[in-house]
Amino acid sequence: MRLPDSEKKRLMHQYGPWALVTGATSGIGLELAMQLADAGFNLVINARQMDTLQATADSLSKTYGIRVIPVAADNAEPEGVEQIIETCRPLDLNLVILAAGYGTSGRFTESSLLTEINLLRVNCEAVLSLTHYFAQKFARQQRGGIILFSSIVAFQGVPFSANYAASKAYIQSLAEALAVELQPSGVDILAAAPGPVASGFAQRANMNMGQTLTPQQVGVPILKALGRTSLVRPGLLTKILSYALMTAPRALKVRIMGKIMGGFTGNK
């Protein structure tokens, strides 16, 4: 799926000429980086593994004729976040896509506390720090857009992926509040809440997700939603799953999601 020319022009007009994409070497972040490159954006891209990051940067700049600056940094570390901010500071950068994140699964009592705390640092603390810096900058200049990654798991507790779902509930809540708070300053905040997407995510989270969308199916709907709404549930499968759950009482939703996640992770 490709962005229509009218959408490429709209994005460049509202948010160009530079964008930051974290988690840009795989899955949804990579797809969004490619779509923005195709629209003519210069990019700052971030992930931890330098070799993959450099290969992604080379491929994007060669294919689309844009400038790409790779920042190899672990967002779990405050120094990593600082490195991203310092790279972006001198650039005319008005669009931020915070896709770096990961999941964990299984029984909470059998999980590693260090891994779960690290997840909060990457999924929440780094996102908070980057959003704080860029929201202030964008509000001052009365222009900018920020896309945060929520999830279908963000709208109720999810047994067998409790901490990951809680991290996404935090992002969902942050995004929907900031969308209202920053609207008068001309800053667009979007929560993207996909259902299962085939990417590097499932392997790292140790989930076997069954039916999935591709990153290509969710990338364009996410970019089209920016500046038009504050929440997007990209793709038909995501919409069907989300709306099927919507009418159930919250306690029932938790149990249904527990059954689904139990199936993804071999837990009962």
Ligand X SMILES: NC(=O)c1ccc[n+]([C@@H]2O[C@H](COP(=O)([O-])OP(=O)(O)OC[C@H]3O[C@@H](n4cnc5c(N)ncnc54)[C@H](OP(=O)(O)O)[C@@H]3O)[C@@H](O)[C@H]2O)c1
- Residues in the site for ligand X, rule: CB under 6 A? 22-29, 46-49, 52, 74-76, 99-103, 122, 149, 151, 194, 196-197, 199-201, 204
Does residue 148 sit in helix, strand or coil? strand
- In the complex, the smallest distance separating the C-beta of residue 122 from ligand X, rounded to whole angstroms, is 4
Q: From residue 259, how far is each of 107, 111, 160 by CA, in Å?
A: 13, 19, 9
CA–CA distance, 181 with 198 (Å, rounded to integer): 33
Q: What strand order describes the sheet that includes 93-98? A: 68-72, 42-47, 18-22, 93-98, 144-149, 187-192, 231-232
Q: Supply the minimum distance, in Å, between the C-beta of residue 118 and ligand X.
A: 8
* E strand or H helix at 27: helix 27-38
Closest CB to ligand X among residues 10, 166: 166
**CB 197, CB 233: distance < 8 Å:** no
Minimum Å gap between C-beta 142 and ligand X is 28
CB of residue 23 to ligand X, shortest distance in Å: 3
- Compute the distance between CA of residue 53 and CA of residue 7 in angstroms, rounded to an integer: 27
The pair of three-digit structure tokens given for residue 266, joined into one six-digit string: 């071999």
Question: Which of 94/150 has CB closer to ligand X?
Answer: 150
Q: How far is the CB of 207 from ligand X (least distance, A)?
A: 8
Q: Looking at beta carbons only, is 10 or 26 nearer to ligand X?
A: 26
Measured from the CB atom, is 155 or 201 closer to ligand X?
A: 201
Q: Taking the complex as a whole, how short is the minimal distance between the CB of residue 35 and ligand X, in angstroms?
A: 13
Q: Work out whether strand 144-149 and strand 18-22 pair parallel, antiparallel, or are unpaired.
A: unpaired
Least CB distance from residue 3 to ligand X, whole Å?
Answer: 18
Residue nearer to ligand X on the CB measure, 83 or 185 = 83
Closest to ligand X by CB, 10 vs 170, is 170
Q: Three-state SS string across 213-266, please?
A: ECHHHHHHHHHHHECCECEECCCHHHHHHHHHHHCCCHHHHHHHHHHHHHHHHC
Helix, coil or strand: residue 158: coil
Nearest-approach distance from CB 220 to ligand X, in angstroms: 15
Q: How far apart are CA 154 and CA 129, in angstroms?
A: 20
Please give the C-alpha separations between residue 11 and each of 27, 194, 226, 249, in angstroms, as whole numbers. 21, 21, 9, 38
Q: Which is nearer to ligand X, 42 or 46 (CB)?
A: 46
Q: Looking at this protein, which amino acid is placed at residue 199?
A: S
Residue closer to ligand X, measured from CB, 49 or 63: 49
